[in-house]
Structures are given as structure tokens and as C-alpha cells.
């Protein structure tokens, strides 16, 4: 995520304009992460909105501006987990027929093979449990290190690495069959 750390400091002091600038800087990253975790555009919009509202009301309690990114990602992943838990029995968390990250990520791509490959990857990602899906999304898609993901998810970094490797292996097995 790219944002101005000074905006974090100002937002911590209850500066609404600074928070607005901060939101404009990170909203696409939050939205993309929400789509990767939830697998659905509408659910991602909902959890990102909830995340931003919680961040707006809670940013004044943030003690260290350097903790902003893990803090907001922790809020997002918690919101996603709650939404998945609440909706688990009502519908599939990943519905390949719904609008997904393909709509967001591959708008410019016109190659059928690219879209097909992205869909296969999405389906493979959806085969993972929610924690592994979050770990793979944060590490592979967003580029976070295991210690950063561990901090966000309150997990030991070695556990994150183990679950990442197992998740990637499950995805690899699924993709080889396809």
C-alpha cells in the first residue's frame, strides 16, 4: 500500500481531510484484498466499507503511525472472517459465476487464455480454507512477508510460511489436474 505517513499522523489527530486523502490512497488495495478473500465484488465492497468506518472511528486510538497498514489489514481480515462465518451456510464463499477479481484485474486483458487462467487460479484459491486463502492472498498477491502476515493475523511467522506452502501446494495440485 502506498500512502503518505503524514496523513496517518494528521488522521490520528482527528483530521478528517487527512483521513479522506488516506482513504483515497488505500481504497483500491483494500478493495482488491477484499475481493481476493471474499471472492465476490459485492461482499468485498461491504467489508471494505465496514473496514473504513471502523478505521475512521478508531484511528485516533492508533498509537504508532508505522502500525497503520497492519492495523487496517487486521480490521479488513477480521471483517472478512466475520462475513464468511455469518454467511457460510447461506451460500458458497466463492461463486465463479458472480463478478470476481477478474472483473477488476483483467478489464484491459482481451486474451481468452489470460481470463481462463485467472479463473482457474481463482477457483484453486477458493479451494483453500479462509485462513490459507488470506495468507496466500497477502503473501503472493500483495507481497507481504511472513512476519507481516503473522502480525496481521496474530500468528507465528513460521506457521504462516507452513500454511502458505501447503496452500500453494494444494493450488498447484488442483491446477495440474485442470
Burial class (CB in 10 A: 0-12, 13-18, 19+), 89: exposed
Domain count for the chain, please give it: 1
Q: Give phi and psi for 128, each to the nearest 5.
A: -80, 155
pLDDT of 118 reads: 67
pLDDT of 53 reads: 94
- Cα(135)–Cα(129) distance, rounded to whole angstroms? 10
- Cα(16)–Cα(57) distance, rounded to whole angstroms? 11
Helices (H), the chain: 5-12, 16-38, 41-58, 68-87, 101-105, 112-126, 130-136, 146-153, 157-177
Which residue segment(s) compose the domain that 93 sits in? 5-177
Given a cut of 50, the residues of the chain with pLDDT beneath it are 88-111
Burial class (CB in 10 A: 0-12, 13-18, 19+), 76: buried
Crossing angle of helices 68-87 and 16-38, rounded to 10°: 50
CATH label of the domain that carries residue 113: 1.20.140.160
- Cα(33)–Cα(170) distance, rounded to whole angstroms? 21
Evaluate if pTM is beyond 0.75.
Answer: no
Amino acid at each position: 500500500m502506498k500512502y503518505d505517513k503524514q496523513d496517518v499522523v494528521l488522521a490520528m489527530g482527528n483530521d478528517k481531510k487527512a483521513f479522506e486523502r488516506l482513504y483515497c490512497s488505500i481504497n483500491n488495495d483494500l478493495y482488491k484484498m477484499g475481493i481476493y478473500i471474499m471472492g465476490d465484488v459485492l461482499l468485498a465492497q461491504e467489508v471494505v466499507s465496514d473496514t473504513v468506518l471502523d478505521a475512521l472511528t478508531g484511528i485516533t486510538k492508533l498509537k504508532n503511525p508505522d502500525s497503520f497498514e497492519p492495523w487496517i489489514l487486521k480490521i479488513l481480515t477480521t471483517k472478512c472472517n466475520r462475513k464468511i462465518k455469518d454467511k457460510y451456510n447461506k451460500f458458497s464463499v466463492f461463486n465463479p459465476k458472480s463478478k470476481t477479481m477478474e472483473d477488476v484485474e483483467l478489464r484491459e486483458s482481451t486474451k481468452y487464455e489470460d481470463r481462463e487462467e485467472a479463473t482457474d487460479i481463482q477457483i484453486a484459491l477458493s479451494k483453500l480454507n479462509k485462513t490459507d486463502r488470506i495468507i496466500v492472498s497477502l503473501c503472493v498477491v500483495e507481497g507481504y512477508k511472513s512476519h507481516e502476515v503473522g502480525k496481521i493475523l496474530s500468528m507465528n511467522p513460521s506457521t504462516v510460511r507452513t500454511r502458505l506452502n501447503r496452500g500453494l501446494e494444494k493450488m498447484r495440485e488442483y491446477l495440474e489436474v485442470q
